[in-house]
Amino acid sequence: MDRVALRGLKARGHHGVFPREREEGQTFIVDLVLSLDTRPAAASDDLTKTVHYGVVAEEVVDIVQGEPVDLIETLAERIAENCLKHDAVREVEVTVHKPDAPITVPFDDVTITITRSRV
């Protein structure tokens, strides 16, 4: 499988278990690796035979900005399900970063990474 990667998609969402997270919101960052066979698109130079990563990026931002969930695990699952709706995508790796998570000790980032496939 070939891979198309989108790194650092940023959007403000209201996800989290604490009321402050739901009320104030925070920035979430999403990285995607979409696995697909790019040979048909390369041979024909035809966008319809691959995945339109610009569309995927907009959809991911809409999901992050959309209906709040408690867990970033749930958010990652929603993103993965959406990516797999694109016909060319056979597998997706989703990493959701929550750099402003409500943790009381110094840290750089909190992430969840999931991999989902059609099989």
Residues assigned a catalytic role: 98
- How far is the C-alpha of 93 from the C-alpha of 88, rounded, in Å? 15
CA distance 44 to 87: 17
Tell how far CA 104 is from the center of its chain: 26
